[in-house]
A and B are shown apart, each in its own frame.
Chain A
Amino acid sequence: MRFIKYISLIVIGLSFNQAYSQWTGTAYELYKNQKFEEAKVAIDSAVSSSERFDSQTWQLRGLIYRSIADDDQLYYRGIAMESFVHAKKLDSTGIYTAKINEYLKRTVLLYYNDAVTLLTEEIEFDKAEQSYNTYKKHYSTLVDPAYNFDQKDTEFYNAMGVEYLNKAEDFELSKKAELREKSIFYCLKTIAIDSLHYQANYNIGIVYYSIAVDYITSVDPEITIEQLIMNQKRAEEAFLKAIPFLKTCERLNADDINVKIALMGCYYGLNNETEYLIYQTVVDLYYISSYLDTYKKDPTDQENLKILIRIYTVTLPDSAEAEKYKNELHRLQDE
């Protein structure tokens, strides 16, 4: 899943129409033919010659350095930006301002794209955040000092939260706890900007719910009674933390069954029978047809029979139906 859309980069056609000076012209031909390393040598010669007073020479240098894709790409990107900034200084008439600004903007956006790739494909959290912060710094310095990053921040921090949570599932409990804390941290950063951010609220609710469940289920079965009581207390705290975030989601979208299931799980874990039954009933009404379908397809599915018995005994009482499925289950268990 991708929470951040890549900002597409459009290759900007160059409009170096007029005749270049010697080195710049050579560099431009090499650039057009995508021979970036050779173009780099030519353009560096240009900026060491009298051609260095031409804004277009520096613009071209920026484009060439920006196009080099090797291990030193970030270093070259820095040179590209310096070149664009210098090109702007030399553009005394302002004729190229709009174009140079566009070059700068597209170069700065590469840091954002890097951040997305580092986060969602390479799962390099620190590097991703570093790249994102670099993008923000350069954007506000070189592109638009008044730019409001709220929208981008919520997307990025929420994506960090999601990826930390996804990664947490691959680890054992202590590492999992650390990653979940990180997930909460970034989702809270999202919520600090947009308190009604649906996914961040949902994610935090789910993280706390999962933490609570792990306090109960991921422990040594040969637990002492003191540990059991302590773990129940910790689980209670985590369930209680989950509820406000899930309730926010419920207010934002009352139809999301995943939120209902999560709230049902919290109230169940909290032994709050009244609230639990409200949500369990909603969930059962939503899914009962699928349980009945499953029964039709496979009447020997004992887990499904247990669910049907629970539904017809507790949430949607029908003693005849409950008895029917109970007899069916007993028959299977006695076989």
Chain B
Amino acid sequence: MIGLSSVTSRSNQITDTRSVVKAMYIYTFATLVEWPAERRTGDFVIGVYGEKTAVYDELIKKYSGKSIGSQKIVVKNYRNKDEVKGCHILYVTEERTNELSSLSGSLLTENTLLVGERNGALAKGAIINFIVEGNQQKYEINKTNAKNHRLVIADKLADLAAKVTK
């Protein structure tokens, strides 16, 4: 009998399609959000806060070294809040959702796009939150949180969101 053609190197492990989708979404967010002028130089830092999850692996594999405009993408992992610095995007893993509120406060001046992945993350300060609608991975946006971080969300990104909170 033939086997799954899309298994990982361990034959009983499936391809982590969810993480691939999330990583690609994060990349598209980077292309559809406008950062203040002072953040448009140097490296473009995408941080993953929490464990080095499959999303982190995907970001490294697919985007490390690529560019957003003239900025080179650098992917970093943080396990301690104090280490988080200079991120353009910070993806907060599900198990660290409770730390979103304090992260939001401390990263306000860094214009960091906080991305969560648990229901209620927008209320804790995330600007974009991954949600599942039907059978698909979608996202919701909080425009007030974006404004507080001096980030401009492109109309296209908002139009394609499952939900937008003003």
Contact = CB atoms under 8 A, between A and B. Distances in A.
B18 A221 contact: no
Contact of A222 (B2, B27, B160): B27
Given A225-B160, A239-B135, A206 B2 contact: yes
Interface of A: 1, 162, 165-166, 169, 199, 202-203, 206, 209-210, 212-214, 216-217, 219, 221-226, 228-229, 232-233, 235-236, 239-240, 257-258, 261-262, 264-265, 268-273, 283, 286-287, 303, 307, 326, 330, 333
Nearest to B157: A225
B132 A271 contact: yes
Contacts of B157: 225
Interface stretch (B8-16, B34-42, B145-153): B8-16
A203 B2 contact: yes
A334 to B, nearest CB: 9
A203 B63 CA distance: 34
Interface of B: 1-7, 9-10, 12-18, 20-21, 24-25, 27-28, 31-32, 51-52, 62-63, 66, 79, 132, 134-137, 156-157, 160
B40 to A, nearest CB: 19
Contact of B4 (A1, A210, A233, A239): A210
A44 B160 CA distance: 80
Contacts of A326: 51
Given A199-B1, A202-B1, A271-B132, A228 B21 contact: yes
Contacts of B132: 271, 273
A225 B21 CA distance: 11
Contacts of B15: 213, 216-217, 265
B25 A265 contact: no
Contacts of A239: 135
A270 B20 CA distance: 13
Residue picked from A221, A262, A264, most chain B C-beta under 10 Å: A221
A221 B32 CA distance: 15
A217 B6 contact: yes
A268 B14 contact: yes
B6 A221 contact: no
A218 to B, nearest CB: 9
Nearest to A286: B12
